[in-house]
């Protein structure tokens, strides 16, 4: 592990004005071991240090993704912990929370410890397993929540993502259980009866295309129910991949009542709309579906207003055969780790909705707080763990398959000109992405 000196970099936390313009003064950051040991100006490098010229770059605390599908164990043809965390490093992520829908399911201490260990061995990102709420994601019986919470993996987030915990009593019991150790239930808000056979957002376009519609109320009704349960129990609830204007309103009202509710939005729901489904290109098939342009506008406004707390990728890799087929047969999901920063810049910072400092909160500090990952640095100050990412906000590129570092290529952004590029990712003092290229550790 070589020591590092980053020269003349601006800190995202100091860029508090909305928009992309940079106003703060550059600083130097010295990293030794896994800590930031000095911060100042005109620091002199030692012979043993790797010097990185940060001129024109922005330094963020390492990004944290609260919603990643790493697929291992069981679906290694789509992704592994190793390949998925390499994709994370390319995207500036130093911590990822791995969803439970693996095979076997992450519903017991043994499996979550295995996933965490695979992350430690890979070295590209800290992997925090998410435990299943119910055994085998079946929605019938609670999983071994206590055993996972007390395991070496110290699980604090529980989700049946991909499936909704639709039984009200089970959801109540899960919220009661996690409250005892300040855990959180991350709900996939989708009423299964209202979405049977659904293929895209319900509306005029779904009727025109002859595809079964996915009504917004299927999401909004579950969020409303769960908000009431969380309010009744004074427990923590997190809403996964919120996608409609109506859902924003439900979360807003719950927060005004003091409910312990947080919500995430994916980058793709901040920029892509249902109109893309006209192409029948299955790269645009996702759960929840792409919505109307009015929903996209409402989501952006909700992020700016603090109603939506974080950005989470819902990185969902699939092999080519699961996407290169007719729409009805295709799998739901998109990869998103490598493109998350660029899409966030394009949809939120460039239009002036938020500042760079707010984007750091959305991609870094707040996800760590919700996931109870207290080892994550709150700021890039002396003594903090050296988890950080340097980005070039002025660099643009036409996004292509060459920008992906995971095992699957089901990205919806190919051929789009995207702003911003991850230059360097540092995790625990180790460079994992160097000048845009993932390092072989």
H or E segment and range at residue 121: helix 109-122
Active-site amino acid positions: 314
- Which residues line the annotated binding site for substrate? 69-71, 101, 287, 318, 332-333
Question: Domain check: are 45 and 78 in the same one?
Answer: no
Domain at 401, CATH number: 2.30.40.10
CA-closest candidate to residue 87, choices 54, 53, 122, 116? 122
| Residue 379: per-residue pLDDT | 93
Give me the number of domains the chain comprises. 2
Question: Domain check: are 20 and 133 in the same one?
Answer: no
Question: Domain check: are 102 and 140 in the same one?
Answer: yes
Binning the chain into helix, strand and coil, the percentages to the nearest 5 are: 30, 25, 45
Asked if pLDDT for residue 4 goes beyond 80, the answer is yes
Is residue 268 helix, strand or coil?
helix
Q: Which residues contact 310 (CB under 8 A, 6 or more apart)?
A: 66, 262, 263, 264, 265, 362, 363, 366, 367, 370
For the four alpha carbons of 433, 438, 440 and 441, in that order, the dihedral sign comes to positive
Would 429 be classed as within a structural domain? yes
Question: Domain check: are 367 and 411 in the same one?
Answer: no
Domain that holds residue 205: 60-371
Would 377 be classed as within a structural domain? no
Question: Domain check: are 49 and 72 in the same one?
Answer: no
- Which residues line the annotated binding site? 67, 69-71, 101, 161, 188, 241, 287, 314, 318, 332-333
107-149 pLDDT tens trace: 999 999 999 999 999 999 999 999 999 999 999 999 999 999 9
Instruction: For residue 20, give the DSSP letter.
Output: S
Question: Domain check: are 143 and 50 in the same one?
Answer: no
315-366 pLDDT tens trace: 999 999 999 999 999 999 999 999 999 999 999 999 999 999 999 999 999 9
Show which of 371, 401, 428 is a domain's final residue: 371
Find the mean pLDDT for residues 72-82.
Answer: 98
196-219 pLDDT tens trace: 999 999 999 999 999 999 999 999
Question: Domain check: are 204 and 88 in the same one?
Answer: yes
Would 376 be classed as within a structural domain? no
154-196 pLDDT tens trace: 999 999 999 999 999 999 999 999 999 999 999 999 999 999 9
Show which of 326, 350, 371 is a domain's final residue: 371
Question: Domain check: are 38 and 115 in the same one?
Answer: no
Domain at 249, CATH number: 3.20.20.140
Angstrom distance (rounded) from CA 14 to CA 59? 10
Show which of 371, 391, 420 is a domain's final residue: 371
Angstrom distance (rounded) from CA 379 to CA 358? 13
Question: Domain check: are 367 and 288 in the same one?
Answer: yes
Question: Domain check: are 146 and 203 in the same one?
Answer: yes
Instruction: For residue 365, give the DSSP letter.
Output: I
- pLDDT band for position 2 (cuts 50, 70, 90): confident
Asked if pLDDT for residue 1 goes beyond 90, the answer is no
Would 152 be classed as within a structural domain? yes
Q: State the chain's mean pLDDT as an integer.
A: 97
Angstrom distance (rounded) from CA 195 to CA 238? 21
CA-closest candidate to residue 199, choices 330, 16, 34, 360? 330
Tokens representing 372 are 């109870």
- Which residues line the annotated binding site for Zn(2+)? 67, 69, 161, 188, 241, 314
CB of 61 closer than 8 Å to CB of 356: no
Question: Domain check: are 145 and 158 in the same one?
Answer: yes
Instruction: For residue 407, give the DSSP letter.
Output: S
372-419 pLDDT tens trace: 999 999 999 999 999 999 999 999 999 999 999 999 999 999 999 999
Angstrom distance (rounded) from CA 228 to CA 225? 5
Angstrom distance (rounded) from CA 245 to CA 11? 33
| Residue 336: per-residue pLDDT | 98
Question: Domain check: are 363 and 415 in the same one?
Answer: no
């Amino acid at each position: 592990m070589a020591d590092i000196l980053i020269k003349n970099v601006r800190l995202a936390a100091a860029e508090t004005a909305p928009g992309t313009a940079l106003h703060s003064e550059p600083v130097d950051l010295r990293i030794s071991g896994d800590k930031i040991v000095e911060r100042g100006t005109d620091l002199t490098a030692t012979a043993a240090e790797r010097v990185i010229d940060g001129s024109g770059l922005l330094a963020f605390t390492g990004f944290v993704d609260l919603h990643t599908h790493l697929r291992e164990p069981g679906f290694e043809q789509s992704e592994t912990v190793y390949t998925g965390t390499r994709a994370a490093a390319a995207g500036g992520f130093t911590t990822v929370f791995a969803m439970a829908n693996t095979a076997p399911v992450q519903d017991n201490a043994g499996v979550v410890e295995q996933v965490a260990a695979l992350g430690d061995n890979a070295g590209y990102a800290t992997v925090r397993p998410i435990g299943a709420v119910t055994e085998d994601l079946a929605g019938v019986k609670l999983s071994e929540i206590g055993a996972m919470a007390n395991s070496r993996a110290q699980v604090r987030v529980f989700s049946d993502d991909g499936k909704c915990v639709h039984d009200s009593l089970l959801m109540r019991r899960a919220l009661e259980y996690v409250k005892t150790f300040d855990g959180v239930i991350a709900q996939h808000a989708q009423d299964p009866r209202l979405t049977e056979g659904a293929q895209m957002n319900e509306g005029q376009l779904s009727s025109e295309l002859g595809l079964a519609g996915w009504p917004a109320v299927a999401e909004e009704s579950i969020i409303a129910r769960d908000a009431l349960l969380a309010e009744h129990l004074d427990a923590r609830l997190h809403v996964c991949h919120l996608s409609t204007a109506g859902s924003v309103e439900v979360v807003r009202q719950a927060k005004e009542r003091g409910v312990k509710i947080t919500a995430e939005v994916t980058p793709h729901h901040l920029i892509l709309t249902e109109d893309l489904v006209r192409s029948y290109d299955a790269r645009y098939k996702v759960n929840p579906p792409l919505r109307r342009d009015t929903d996209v506008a409402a989501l952006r406004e909700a992020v700016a207003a603090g109603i939506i707390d974080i950005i989470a990728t819902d990185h969902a890799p699939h092999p080519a055969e699961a996407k290169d087929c007719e729409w009805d047969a295709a799998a739901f999901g998109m990869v998103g780790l490598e493109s998350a920063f660029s899409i966030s810049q394009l949809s939120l910072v460039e239009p002036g909705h938020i500042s760079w400092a707010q984007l750091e909160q959305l991609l870094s500090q707040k996800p760590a707080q919700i996931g109870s990952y207290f080892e994550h640095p709150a700021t890039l100050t002396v003594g903090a763990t050296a988890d950080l990412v340097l980005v070039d906000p002025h660099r643009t590129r036409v996004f292509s398959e060459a920008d992906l570092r995971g095992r699957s290529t089901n990205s919806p952004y190919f051929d789009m000109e995207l702003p911003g590029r991850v230059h360097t990712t540092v995790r625990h003092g180790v460079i994992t992405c160097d000048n845009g290229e993932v390092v072989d550790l």
